[in-house]
Structure formats: structure tokens, C-alpha cells
Structure 1
Amino acid sequence: MTTARIELPPKLIPVFEGEADVRGSYGGRGSGKTRSFAKMSAVKAYQWAKTGRSGIVLCCRQYMNSLDDSSLEEIKQAIEEEDWLRPHFEIGEKYIRTTCGRVSYKFSGLDRNINSVKSKSRILLCWVDEAEPVAESAWRTLIPTIRGEDSELWVTWNPEIDGSATDKRFRKTKDPLYKVVELNWRDNPAFPAILERQRQRDLETNPEYNHIWEGDYKTIVEGAYYA
């Protein structure tokens, strides 16, 4: 029996182990969290299809005017990176689904289409990327649609406001079935050289370095004037 190997930042390994209602990660640029969650969503889709499960992987963002604003391309690239995973998916310009047709990806923006999520067919997994601006009212609408006993919610975001709805619900919780970790550039074994050069420049010149790269909350309010 052949065993497939997936490379993840070590801090994410416990997030994907065992049972959980929510799996997530927050932090700054270059951590690899988005690509890792995209890849693991495809692994889960493959596993469900192999066991005869049918349903959708729903990928949400707060703002999504078109598929160009979605996680579609990130997931495509994550699948293409794994030679063993690619044959199990049909990938088109606007779609991703398992070759057997049992599991497919859907994409939705929460700012305009939150109520349409209620009508989605069996949601096996809902992944909300760039989740910082999602309002509490949206979470209250979205979470009850994930009804399966073994369905999961995944959340990834770059923190901005201490006490935001996402921050309070997923970072400050003590729920043992919420597996959420902080992940930053130094936690990514594949952190690329070009990003390291950008990080060094920001370290010297950007007052929001800690927010951008270290996952800290924002300290500068957009639109404010500083003499």
C-alpha cells in the first residue's frame, strides 16, 4: 500500500490531527497558511470521494465580486503541486471537482450572498479565507449551515483588530474542538527568498511591520493623518 506524504509547516500538523469542529490559523504574510489549507481541503475532498461521500467544499471570503477574488486559483495550484493528487481531480477554468463527481468546490462571497449559503447542498467542509472582516452576523448565519456531524469549518486570517468578530470567536476561545494556531513567516520552512528581501525592507521602513509579518493587530488606522 502506497502512503502519500504532504508537506506542511510543523505548527499546522496538530491542527489537522484528530477531531475538530473548527481548524484554523492566523498570522502575517509568508506563513504558508493559505496554501496549506488549500492543499488540505483537496486531500479531504479526495478522502471523502474515495469513501463514497458526496457533497461540496464551500470556499468563502467576505468580499468576492468574481471568481478572481476567490480561492479558486490557490486550490488549483495546491493540487497541481502534488503529483499523486492531481489525477483525482477535474480542473477547469471555473471549477474543481473530484474525477468521480462526488465532491465539488463552490465559492461564495459573504458580504452579498450570505443568505444563498443556506441553500447550498451538503456542505462537507467550509473554508473561510481572509476571514478578519467577517461580521458576527455573518458567522451566525454561516455556521448553522454546516450541519453534518463530521462537517468542519476552517478559518484563516491576518489579524487586524483586537476584538473583531473573528478574533473573539476563533482566537480567544477556549473550546477544545477549536484547533487554531498562530503562524508567521518564520514557521514556514518554504519561506521564499523574494519574500525575505521584502520582509527585510519592511523591517527597516514600514511602521506596520509587526502587523504585516508578525501577525500583530494593526496600530495605524486607515485614513488617519500623521504629522
Structure 2
Amino acid sequence: MKKRFNIFELEKYELPLYKPCQYKVYYGGRDGTKSTIFAKALLRLSFEKKCTIVCCREYFGDLELSVFKNFKEIIDEVDEYKPFFKILSTHIVNIKSKSEIHFKGLRDINSNSIKSVQGIDYIWIEEGAYITNYTWTDLDPTIRKSGSEIWITMNPKHETDFMYNEFIRNGKEKYGDRLILQKLSWRNNKYLSEESYFKIKQMQANDFDKYVHVYEGECLRNSDESVFKKEFFIIEDFEEPQGIHPYFGLDFGWTDASAGIRCYIKNQNLYITHEFKKSHVSVDILGEEISKVLKDYEKNGKYEITCDSSSPSLIDLLNRMGYPAKAAFKGKGSIEAGITYIKTFNKCYVNPRCTEFIKEVYNLKYEKDKYSGQIKDKIIDKNNHLVDCWRYALEDCFKNRFTVQFEYKNVLSNSVWV
């Protein structure tokens, strides 16, 4: 049987755990190996010096149901570790460095307070999504030793949850360079079992909303606010037929990533085959970078890419460098018009590699009146770069399908879209 834990090889997403940083937050969906790589990292770090490590959750409960089992599994399997760790009934000791790993509940009435543990170097908060504002406000100032770090793993649940807003939504703005934020999914798990893979594929095919929440690590969504119904999307591998006409869309960015998409239409269904999303790509190499990812889009090729029209100079530069590009038509209500056209199709099939696109369409919402709570017809224009690309890509189909004047005003009340 192949061993699951290689303490001498690190994946790219593990490396930040070994760099000093006050807050480290890893989040995502089920089977993303977050707990395993945290336990692996803390065991390695326990050799560097004598340190105190505390692993905790809101309510502790049974030791065997906590991350204690992750540490124990690694120690039991890694031969190099066995002589150096002593597993006791309540904690683990590194015999060589005298480091100790403790397991606590933050709000258990019968557990010892975190404050009773002196000189904490690392504290790992598991199931971080359930930590309340009250608990965090009490805990954060307690970890004050010079060089100490707070590590958090969480599977997001609701957008209103305190820890989701504190770190995932607002963390970079609030904590800056003191925060490492990393998202993982089941794709990062190279030891994923066949049974787990089967369950993932079943959920992908049968329940889009549940799949995106459970395995992609997105928050549960309010279906009334959602632009697309879960039945519209089918996430699966599909074989592309010969002779299809691909459509391409591009949204320019810099710090906020440039985005591109490739799609096609068959039998009144949409197919999303490839996505491009990358930050800090200079426009002089943007065409080349896109052509590496979006199949069939080539220098001096026969297919054009329809671009965000707010940057005509960038479109002109792409053309001068040999990458066919044209401007999308933009105007008031253009987002709603494009999305309404897209919703006239039966289904949208999405290749599983298009993870950012899946995230965007899952989170695309209508605005809500702040006083009445009533859902409006206007779509929230935020974090939707690939959705914009999708609209741009299909614009010619949109205009060719309907003979009415291409106007966006009050498009949702126009009977042609019903």
C-alpha cells in the first residue's frame, strides 16, 4: 500500500505554512486535505525549537473526533517520526525538542481555558466557520507571544458567518501582509479515494448547488437571489464534436485578473470548455497567454475574441500583434440582456476544469432592496469577470437570434425574452 504521508516533499500550497506569518487561513470544500497538511506542518515545525502548539475548536467533545487523529495517523505511518513522538491520553510530546501539542475546546464548560496554556507559539482553530464573533474577540488578544501564529481551517457555510467575513471576504483588506489566505479543493488531494471521487461525480451530476457548497467550498446561497437555477448547469466531462464553432470572450484586468472563456452551442445547449484567469499579465503577451489556454484561439487565426469595449487601445494592440479581437457592445442593462439570452438555452454543460467559472455563476445574484428586501431585476455587477466574458462571447449569437432593435432598456419586461 502506498504511503499517504511524505514528510520530505511539499506541494506548492503547503509552502506558505513554513513562512512566518501571524494569520494563516486555509479554506475550501470537503476532501481538500486542509487538516492533513496542517498536522503535517505542525509536526515538522515542532522540531525547530521547543514550542507549544494548541489545536482547538469551538466545542471540543471527543479527542478521537478532533484533529488528534490526523497527528496520530501521520506519526503512526512515518517511520522517521515514531522514535520522536510520545502520544499521551490528552496531548502529544516531541521527545527531542520537548514541544507539546494540546487539544482544547474554546467554549467547553468543563475544559481548561486556552488562557491556562502559557506561551502558545501556534494555535490551530479547526472548523473555523463555526467560531463566533464573541469567541474570536476573546481569543485573538490572548495569543500575544512574539512570533506566535494563529492557523485556521474552515469549510465556509453562510455568507453572514463572522469568520467568513473576517478572513475570506475582508481579510486581505483588514490584515494585509499579516494574513496568508489559501483555498483548497478535492483536486489538491492526490490520495483521493475512488469512493470519494465517485461521490463527488454523483453530486456534480445531480445537485449543482450542493456540490459547489460541499466540494468547492462556496457558501450556501439563497435561491431566490440567485440568477441561475441549479438545474441549468451540468458539470461533467464531455466529448466535443467535430466542426463546432467556438466562441471567445475576454475581460481585461491587471491586479483584478484578466479573464477569458471558450464556449460553443449545440442542440440548444451551451458548453463551457476552457477558462483563462490570470493577474498581472502585460497586454503585449496577453494574446499569447490566452492562446495557450483557450483552444483554437490563435495568432492570425480565423476566430475573433470579443472583448470588454472599455479599453479600445488594448483591443487595437491585440489586433496589431496578430490576435483577432473586437469590442463588445456595452450599455445600460447589457448585463441583464446577455444573461436573459443565455437563460433561453436548455442547459449549460461545464467542463470540471472551469472552477472559477463555476464559482462565479454559483454566486451571481440579483440586487435586493435594502428597505423592503424585495429582489430586483438588476444583477450585482461584482466578481463576475468570466460571466462577462461569457456574455461577450455569445453577443453575435444574441444579436443574430432576435430581429428586434438591440436595446437594453427594460429588457426583462420585453416579451421577446420570455
TM-score band by shorter chain is 0.7 to 0.9
The structure-2 alpha-carbon separation of the partners of 1:101 and 1:66, relative to structure 1 and needing over 3 Å to count, comes to: farther
The residue number in structure 2 matching 1:56 is: 52
Q: 2:125 aligns with which of 113, 124, 128?
A: 128
Q: Deviations over 1:163-185 (max 9, x none)?
A: 42211222231221211111001
Trace 1:59-70 onto structure 2 (pairs within 5 A).
Answer: 59-70=55-66
Matched residues in 1 for 2:117 and 2:68: separation? 18
> What amino acid sits opposite 1:169 in the alignment?
E
Q: Whole-Å Cα distance in 1 between the matches of residues 7 and 67 of structure 2? A: 23
**2:98 match:** 102
Q: Secondary structure at the match of 1:41?
A: helix
**Cα distance 1:115–1:8, how it changes in 2: closer, same or farther (>3 A)?**
same
TM-score by length of 2: 0.47
SS at match of 2:42: helix
Task: State the distance in 2 between where 1:220 and 1:77 align.
Answer: 39
Larger radius of gyration: 2
Alpha-carbon separation, structure 2, partners of 1:6 and 1:28: 26
C-alpha distance in 2 between matches for 1:9 and 1:129: 21
Q: 1:111 to 1:205 in 2, by over 3 A?
A: farther
Alpha-carbon distance in structure 2 between the residues aligned to 1:62 and 1:9: 29
Q: Answer whether contact 1:135 1:166 (CA < 8 A) is retained.
A: yes
Higher RCO by CA contacts (8 Å cutoff, separation 6 or greater): 1
Once residues 12 and 57 of structure 1 are traced to their aligned partners in structure 2, the CA distance between those partners, rounded to angstroms, is 18
Shift of residue 63, structure 1, vs aligned partner? 2.3
**Corresponding residue for residue 224 of structure 1:** none
Contact (CA 8 Å) 1:125, 1:153: kept in 2 or not? yes
How far off its partner does 1:195 sit? 1.1
The code of the aligned residue for 2:197 comes to E
Tell me if structure 1 keeps the 8 A contact 2:93–2:99.
Answer: yes
1:86 aligned partner, one-letter code: K
SS at match of 1:47: coil
Contact 2:52 2:122 in 1 (8 A): yes
Q: Which moved more, 1:175-184 or 1:212-221?
A: 212-221
Letter in 2 for 1:159: P
What is aligned with 2:41? Answer: 40
140-149 vs 129-138, greater mean Cα deviation: 140-149
Deviation readout 1:25-63 (Å, 9 max, x if unpaired): 100011111111011111111222xxxx3x421100112
The reply on whether 1:16 has 2:17 as its aligned counterpart is: yes
**TM-score normalised according to structure 1 size:** 0.84
Residue 58 of structure 1: SS of its match in structure 2? strand
Distance 1:6 1:185 in 2: 22
Q: 1:59/1:153 Cα in 2 relative to 1: closer, same or farther (>3 Å)?
A: same
Which residue identity lines up with residue 173 of structure 1 in the other structure?
G
Q: Deviations over 1:95-119 (max 9, x none)?
A: 3111147211111112325881112
Counterpart mapping for 1:1-227 below 5 A: 5-13=7-15, 15-48=16-49, 53=50, 55-100=51-96, 102-112=98-108, 116-171=113-168, 172-174=170-172, 175-206=176-207, 207-219=209-221
For 2:180 and 2:95, the matched residues in 1 are separated by: 30
Secondary structure, in 3 states, of the residue corresponding to 1:102?
Answer: coil
Cα distance, 1:10–1:161 mapped onto 2, change above 3 Å: same
Match of 1:225 in 2: none
- Helix, strand or coil for the counterpart of 1:132? helix
Superposed structure 1 runs of 4+ greater than 6 Å apart:
none
Shift of the alpha carbon at 1:8?
Answer: 4.0
| Contact 2:18 2:41 survives alignment (8 Å) | no
The number of residues matched between the two structures is: 212
